[in-house]
Amino acid sequence: MKLNTVIIGGGLAGLTAGIRLQKAGKSTAIISAGQNALHFFSGRFESVSESSADFIDFFAEAGVRLHYHEGVSLMPMGKLVPSSLSLEDVSIFPEGGLPRKALIVNFTGYHDFFSSFLAEGLEKEGCACRIRFIRIDEMERLRESPSEMRSVHIARIMDKAWEKVVQEVRVLLKDEDTVILPQVFGLKDSHTPSLIRERIPAKVVFAGTLPPSVPGIRTQLQLRRRYELLGGTFLMGDEAVSAETDGARVSSISTKNLQGHPLEAEHFILATGGFFSKGLSSNPQKVWEPLFGLDVEALADRNEWYDPDFLKEQPYMGFGVKTDASLRALKAGEIIDNLYVAGSILGATHPELGSGAGLALRSAFAVADLIAKL
Amino acid sequence: MKANEFDVIIIGGGITGAGTQRDCAKRGLRTLLIERSDIATGATGRNHGLLHSGARYAVNDAESAEECIRENMILRKIAAHCVEETEGLFITLPEDDLEYQKTFVERCKAAGINAEVIDPADARRLEPSVNPELIGAVKVPDGSVDPFRLCAANMLDAKLHGGQVLLYTEVTGFIKDGDTIKGVRTYNHQTHESGEYYAPVTVNACGIWGQRIAEMAGVKIGMFPAKGALLIFAHRVNNVVINRCRKPANADILVPGDTVCVIGTTSTRIPFEECDNVRVTPDEVDLLISEGAKLAPALNSTRILRAYAGVRPLVSADNDPSGRNISRGIVCLDHEERDGLKGFITITGGKLMTYRLMAEMATDAVCRKLGVDKKCETAVTPLPGSEKPSYKEVADQIWESPTTVQKASAGRMGTRAARIKDNDRYDQALICECEEVSVGEINSAIERMDVSTLTDLRRRTRVGMGTCQGELCACRAAGLLAKAHGCIQREREDLNDFLTERWKGNFPIGWGDTLRESEYTQWVYKHVLGV
Amino acid sequence: MTLQEYTSSIHNFEECMKCTVCTAYCPVVQVNPLYPGPKQAGPDGERLRLKDPYFFNKALKYCLNCKRCEVACPSGVHVADLIQAARIRYDHSAPKLRDRLLASTDFMGSLARPFAPIVNAVTGLGVTKKVLDATMKIDSHRTFPKYSASSFERWLKRRRKEQAAFPEQVAYFHGCYVNYNYPQLGKDLVKVLNALGVGVQLLEKEKCCGIAMIVNGMSKEATKHAVHNVAVLGKAVEKGLKVVTTSSTCTLTMREEYPALLGVDNSAVKDSLLLATRYIFERLEAGAQLKFRPDFHLKVAYHTPCHMEKLGWGVFSEKLLKMIPGVEFTLLDSACCGISGTYGFKKENYEASQAIGAALFEQIRAVNPDVVACDCETCKWQIEMSTGYSVKNPISILAEALA
């Protein structure tokens, strides 16, 4: 198969680059080795603090609603952290705008939503909290399986049963100005959370749950749909296994499923993520990039990869593939002309691009726009 | 008698202390056990979990070997729910001397250990993971034992017989009257309260830390701190214990226990001050992997879950720098006879395997001092949970057709699983998915087993001991603990401590899938949940 | 020795990061609370089973073997293989008569075909369905696939000479469905390949791929079929032939399940075994041409069968269909239709089966196509029964569109 650009990695960076290139009229394919880190997305683009109209418009075209406010948002364990650009599911409180009285509503027996921690976190900030548990009949069947009281499964039920939650909340609500609910609404689109906000006569805040993240999965679904509507080829569950190179250029990629049928392209984007996603590999001796054998910025002595304090910054999480200023990959010190790198496989090698979802967006925009101009 | 007066005070919540308390309590004594941290935090919880047949000691230490095989047979009966009857192999590799096997078998037989030479091909059939190049194999009645479960069961039985237990309580001094120990002064690290407790006899069962306690009482015991490092592999590579048939050396035992297997150990002398903070070094890790792979080659390509180290409570006898030739023998000191200090007994040396015998010896000494004439019954009375020989029977008896989580609970709790409240779906929900631990089992541990932290909970239920190392279950379990204890702030700190404690065992082997999992755990807790 | 240079485990189960993405995409979990979900049934359960087979959970039988967990897994764990392998290893209960019959597709086919009109009439009767429902626990809502009076093999054998005249040749693994139930698909394939200048040969007596046996507890029988098929495929490959298929499930079974679940080495034939859509796409990409009718108009909605999703070859069917002038193409959301071979035929699974497919059926009705395209025969039965829309293999659509 011949394409303009082959993108390796179907997470936020890969999909963003793919959509931008398809929009620019380029033919692309995305190789996605299974689902991706959007499934664990907090909804916050942590490092994006500048005004971000471009990002908001870009996502709006895919039906993903972002908003930008300066303020703090409520983390699932009750901490308040500075936030700016985020999914609309994540409420951002302006300075002095925290709730004063909140009703926290959880489902009985749902352990992935941390109501008591949320309450304690808010109470520290002077917000009085009341926690109530509700039961929805439709959910009872889910309980028969000891392992499946999960955000996603609840969300599927809630697509039909959300009105019951609204009714229960309306009965429970007294003089609270805010209602806090788990992020288990709107797996396919953000219609349900909007309706819930409309029907409850108080500010509604959706607080995160243990992954998988419902808004994250929805975002991935919407971006993928957008990409495919624009004509992109999304190879889900496939995996790049080797690359053909021709001098300083990559000529094709072979995948696990398409053996004997290499994907040829003018340009390639490597967006395979960090260690979790296998963008980087490690053994006791070294850290390496497994597909191309690119140069990696990493510490040699494994003793230095870690900080014994779990809560501190871990050096290994900053390891990443080396690139030139235009994010072209380096191998044995030489630039590979048509291989660009985006997303968290960059680690902390480009601090100006931020980290996490912010890094994914910025680097994907950068490489896609470069390729589109060529 | 006042509420703070007892017949005997036992210091140390390891297996020796717990066993001694059980024995004393069963002989009708009013007992108090004081532990500065949680149960099984010293050497008890930091070893292979090997149910020694004694074969390992047969050549060098006949006395220990005999003790081991006797206790081995006893534990199979009284601690059925803590023991797995796996069998064991002693293998000879091409680089080992096959002559040693002859001596080994002779000495085993002399010690009463049923050691049977088998054909290497049979050994490969019995345990397919064994190094296929082996040139000799001997089958022995090794097994595995869960030390946390064993310790908790002993303590529980003591409590069922009126015993009292103070965890997170440190002995800060002795109350003396001339040459007699009358009691102890304590400080509780959780409530920050001081206390005084009185008894005519105090037993020092603090393992390596016994040296410090003895000093505090004014007597001297020379302990020999020898660090032993071990690695836990993420699943069972072997189902039969594999030992090297040679003089005991580094990393020559691979023990399957519960859902994992453990390779160990190393032996390094360390200064006494380091006992509280032992670390596994990269060199030790590398040694354990390379030596372990000689027992079972698959270890070199099997995911590693954790590295940990314990300190052997050996009593110093000579100047051997390795500490290996020191006898694992039991040392029971009546300090009245030895040092002229009345009301004080030290029980030390020994090993997990012989804890019951040590407890019996210490209790006999206590009874002599108190003039109590009661027989020891711990060799014949099953521990609570072990009344039925197999957890499978237990599960079938409690539940009509047990689910996986119920089977797992029965495996951990034995007959005590009947007390889990799991009559509704809410209680059957899983908290720990890797080890299959339900809300009901966790709540029942919190209610009955002195749980104050997540790490305590882990020792009693295996929460967070599986592949994900707490990635999914730690925050869920924290929710249950917060509810039980009613203090969120404390639970936040506890959760951080737990994650750091898990990480402490992960980073020394932080590569490959373990590093991937750690990255994910970092992501979940810091960026998604926000701890 | 390089320490821990790499690690490995049975079906990669130790690469599981416990992220739970697999259960989010499992169609069974959504409708059947008795199923523990792919994470519990697969990698989590494996650790316990390695400790003691006692921990094997019979509820693993609810797994559809749709492989969607594997497609979704970001870590490359062969979740479905783990589950099916555990069933093979630990579930020693003998399969029920019903399961044996459902699984023996070629046996049933060869028995029924000569009496096709009678069998079709009888299995179509309400009273027969009720009897099957009551005695065999085959759900009475199901319509049995009709048997064809004349087999595809017979049809193609009669055209042996004519096919041999083509300058290029492929062998065709037609599978039970084309042979006994729907020879038209085979005929359509012959038409398309002939138009490309390629003649079609039969294999030297193929057998059922065996997937229904694998999932119905008959792995021994399945292994016999696998060994036989690898041998006959091998003969074709030795002659330098590619072997094409028209069923995504047969293809996946022979390429992936033979080595992974049955331990049958297929390395000599794997790369030569292709779905016809891929084969045709590659011919066209290499410069071959097809002539299409100028007046062809068809609104097509493409459903990616689960096993096609796993194969990763849906892209070829999609691109071929889009290539046909006059085709208005919609890609349906990737979702299981619920039938999964014999699964949906069992009375105990009927409700779950329909609930799984509900979202797909809804989307098909919303798109309202002239025809649903899909490369799997059991999806075809399910979608046709549940929506009333006609379902065709992309090859048949291609054949119709040819000038």
DSSP for C319-331 reads: HHHHHSTTEEEEE
In a domain, C226, yes or no: yes
Q: Is A181 found in the same domain as A309?
A: no
A52 within a domain of the structure (yes/no): no
Instruction: Let me know whether B436 and B520 are in one domain.
Output: yes
Same domain flag for A208 and A229 = no
Calpha distance C378→C31 (Å, rounded): 20
Confidence of residue B54 (pLDDT cuts 50, 70, 90): very high
Percent of chain C with pLDDT over 70: 93
Residue B207 maps to a domain: yes
Do B236 and B332 fall within a single domain? Answer: no
Helices B488-506 and B512-522 pack at an angle, to 10 degrees, of 160
In a domain, C51, yes or no: yes
Instruction: Classify residue B230: in a domain, yes or no.
Output: yes
**pLDDT average, residue stretch C244-262:** 97
Mean pLDDT over the full length of chain C: 92
**One domain, residues B169 and B110:** no
Domain co-membership, B121 together with B174: no
In the structure encoding, which two tokens stand for residue C221, read together? Answer: 């029988």
The pLDDT-based confidence of B319 (bands split at 50, 70, 90) is very low
Number of other residues whose CB lies within 10 A of the CB of residue A333: 7
Mean pLDDT of B71-84: 97
In a domain, A188, yes or no: yes
Q: Is B497 in the A-facing interface, judged by CB distances under 8 Å?
A: no
B473 and B504 assigned to the same domain: yes
Q: Give the pLDDT of residue C216.
A: 87
Does C298 lie in the same domain as C184? no
DSSP string, C200-262: EEE-SS-----HHHHHTT-HHHHHHHHHHHHHHHHHHHHTT-EEEES-HHHHHIIIIIHHHHH
Q: Is residue C68 part of a domain?
A: yes
Same domain, A89 and A190: yes
CA–CA gap between residue A8 and residue A31 (Å, rounded): 5
Which residue, among C50, C55, C75, C82, would best test binding to B if mutated, counting the most B CBs under 10 Å from its CB?
C50
pLDDT for residue B316 = 64
Pairing label, strands B201-204, B344-349: parallel
Q: What is the mean pLDDT of residues C324-339?
A: 93
Handedness of CA B5, B9, B13, B19 (dihedral sign): negative
B240 shares its domain with B274: yes
pLDDT above 50: residue B408: yes
Same domain, A17 and A164: no
The whole model's pTM is what? 0.95
CA–CA distance, B425 with B438 (Å, rounded to integer): 10
Domain ranges, residue B260: 83-145+225-311
Chain A residues whose C-beta sits inside 8 Å of any chain C C-beta: 1-2, 33-37, 39-40, 141-148, 150, 152-153, 156, 211-212, 217, 225, 228, 233, 235-239, 255-261, 276-278, 283-285
Using the 3D structure, point to which of A195, A212, A229 is the last residue of a domain: A212
Domains in chain A: how many in total?
2
C311 and C280 in a single domain? The answer is: no
Total number of residues shown for chain C? 403
Verify that B442 and B306 share a domain, yes or no: no
Q: pLDDT at residue C145 above 80?
A: no
B72 within a domain of the structure (yes/no): no
Cβ-count burial of A51 within 10 angstroms (0-12 exposed, 13-18 middle, 19+ buried)?
Answer: exposed
Q: What's the domain range around C213? A: 152-284
Q: ipTM, 2 decimals?
A: 0.97
Residue C220 lies in a domain: yes
- One domain for residues A118 and A205: yes
Query: Domain containing B181 — which CATH number?
Result: 3.50.50.60
Residues B210 and B244 in one domain: no
Between vectors from CA C272 to CA C269 and to CA C277, what angle results, nearest 5°? 140
Q: pLDDT band at residue B417, thresholds of 50, 70 and 90?
A: very high
User: What mean pLDDT comes out for the span C346-367?
Assistant: 91
3-state helix, strand, coil in chain C (%, to 5): 55, 10, 35
Integer Cα distance of A166 and A229 in angstroms:
34
Q: Are residues C162 and C277 in the same domain?
A: yes
With CA atoms as reference, report the closest residue to A263 among A254, A272, A271, A250.
A254
Residue C289 burial by Cβ neighbours in a 10 Å radius (0-12, 13-18, 19+): exposed
Residue C4 domain flag: no
Give the Cα separation of B38 and B370 in Å (integer). 29
For residue B392, is it within any domain? no
End-to-end CA distance of chain C: 64
The secondary structure element, H or E, covering residue B175 is strand B169-177
* Of B293, B466, B520, Cβ closest to residue C17: B520
| Domain co-membership, B202 together with B251 | no
Residue B460 has pLDDT above 60, yes or no: yes
The answer on A366 and A250 residing in a single domain is yes
- Percentage of chain B surpassing pLDDT 70? 98
| A128 residue type, one letter | A
**Residue C147, domain member (yes or no):** no
pLDDT number for residue B318 = 46
Q: Rounded to a whole number, what is the largest CA-CA distance in chain C? A: 70
Q: What is the CATH number of the domain that holds B246?
A: 3.30.9.10
Token pair, residue B62, equals 């006949």
Check whether residue A228 and residue A152 sit in a common domain. no
Q: What distance in Å separates the CA atoms of residue B14 and residue B349, rounded to the nearest whole number?
A: 13
Residue B208 and residue B305 in one domain: no
β-pairing, A296-297 with A320-321?
Answer: antiparallel
My answer on whether C217 and C178 are in the same domain is yes
Domain boundary residue among B260, B276, B311? B311
Q: Does C45 touch chain A (CB under 8 A)?
A: no
CA B31 to chain centroid, in Å, comes to 22
- DSSP 8-state secondary structure symbol assigned to residue B223: E
Count of domains in chain B?
3
Spatial separation of the C-alpha atoms in residues A15 and A41, rounded to whole Å: 15
Q: For residue A278, is it within any domain?
A: yes
pLDDT one-digit tens code per residue, B129-167: 999 999 999 999 999 999 999 999 999 999 999 999 999
Token code pair at residue C63: 């797994």
Is C47 within 8 Å of B471 when comparing Cβ atoms? no
- Chain A residue nearest residue B493, CA to CA: A311
In the predicted model, is pLDDT for residue A168 greater than 60? yes
Residue C144 resides in a domain:
no
pLDDT per residue as tens digits for the range B97-107: 999 999 999 99
Range of the structural domain that residue A114 is part of: 63-212
**How many Cβ contacts (< 8 angstroms) between chains A and C?**
106
What pLDDT, on a 0 to 100 scale, did the predictor assign at position C113? Answer: 64
Q: Are residues B236 and B121 in the same domain?
A: yes
What does the alpha-carbon distance between residue A61 and residue A38 come to, in Å, rounded to a whole number? 18
Domain for residue A160, yes or no?
yes
Q: Where do the DSSP E strands lie in chain A?
A: 2-8, 28-32, 66-74, 80-87, 101-107, 128-134, 178-182, 203-207, 233-236, 240-246, 249-255, 263-270, 281-282, 287-288, 296-297, 320-321, 328-331, 334-341
A158 band by pLDDT with thresholds 50, 70 and 90 = very high
Q: Which residue matches tokens 């002239």?
A: C370
Domain assignment present for residue B393? The answer is no
pLDDT tens for each residue of B13-40? 999 999 999 999 999 999 999 999 999 9
For residues B54 and B62, give the distance between their C-alpha atoms in angstroms, rounded to a whole number. 9
In a domain, C273, yes or no: yes
Residues A70 and A22 in one domain: no
% of chain A surpassing 70 pLDDT:
99
CATH number at residue A346: 3.50.50.60
Q: Where is the domain boundary, A212, A242, A261?
A: A212
Flag whether B52 is in a domain: no
Mean pLDDT on C56-79: 95
Residue C119 pLDDT:
67
**Count of structural domains, chain C:** 4
| Other beta carbons within 10 Å of A160 | 10
* CA–CA dist C232, C243 (Å, integer): 11
Same domain, B38 and B101: no
Rounded to an integer, the average pLDDT of B256-274 is: 94
CB B339 within 8 Å of CB B310 = no
Same domain? A186 vs A229: no
CB contact under 8 A, A111 and B522: no
- The whole-number pLDDT of residue B363 equals 98
Q: Are residues A207 and A336 in the same domain?
A: no
Within a domain: residue B65? no
Tell me, yes or no, if C33 comes closer than 8 A to chain A by beta carbon: yes
For residues B7 and B202, is the Cβ–Cβ distance under 8 A? no
The pLDDT tens digits of the residues spanning C34-57 come to: 899 999 999 999 999 999 999 999
Which two tokens mark B248? 């005991």
Q: Under DSSP, is residue C392 helix (H, G, I), strand (E, B) or coil?
A: strand
Contact between B135 and B97 (Cβ < 8 Å): no
Asked whether residue A53 is domain-assigned, the answer is: no
Give the confidence band of C388 by pLDDT, cuts at 50, 70, 90.
Answer: very high
User: What is the per-residue pLDDT across C89-137, written as a single tens digit (0 to 9) for each?
Assistant: 998 887 887 788 777 777 666 666 666 666 666 666 666 666 667 777 7
Q: Looking at the domain assignment, is residue A22 inside a domain?
A: yes
C46 part of contact set with chain B, CB < 8 Å: yes
User: Of A248-262, B74-88, B412-426, B465-479, which range is least confident?
Assistant: B412-426
Considering the domain architecture, whether residues A83 and A182 belong to the same structural domain is answered as yes
- Out of A212, A234, A249, pick the residue that ends a domain: A212
Out of B488, B518, B520, closest to residue A117 by CB:
B488
Q: Does A51 reside within a domain?
A: no
Find, in chain C, the residue whose alpha carbon is nearest to that of A37: C74
Collapse the DSSP code of B187 into the 3-class scheme (helix H, G, I; strand E, B; otherwise coil) and give the result: strand
pLDDT in tens, A274-311: 999 999 999 999 999 999 999 999 999 999 999 999 99
Check which CATH number belongs to the domain holding C26 and give it. Answer: 1.10.1060.10
Q: What is the CATH number of the domain that holds C395?
A: 3.40.50
Cβ distance C17 to B468 less than 8 Å, yes or no, reads yes
Nearest-5° angle of CA B253, CA B255, CA B260?
135
Structural domain contains residue B382: no
Domain check: are C271 and C310 in the same one? no
Mean pLDDT of all residues in A90-101: 94
Does residue A277 share a domain with residue A184? no
Q: What is the pLDDT of residue A49?
A: 67
Query: Would A322 be classed as within a structural domain?
Result: yes
Mean pLDDT computed over C220-246: 97
Question: Which residues in A lie closer than 8 A to residue B286 (C-beta atoms)?
Answer: 284
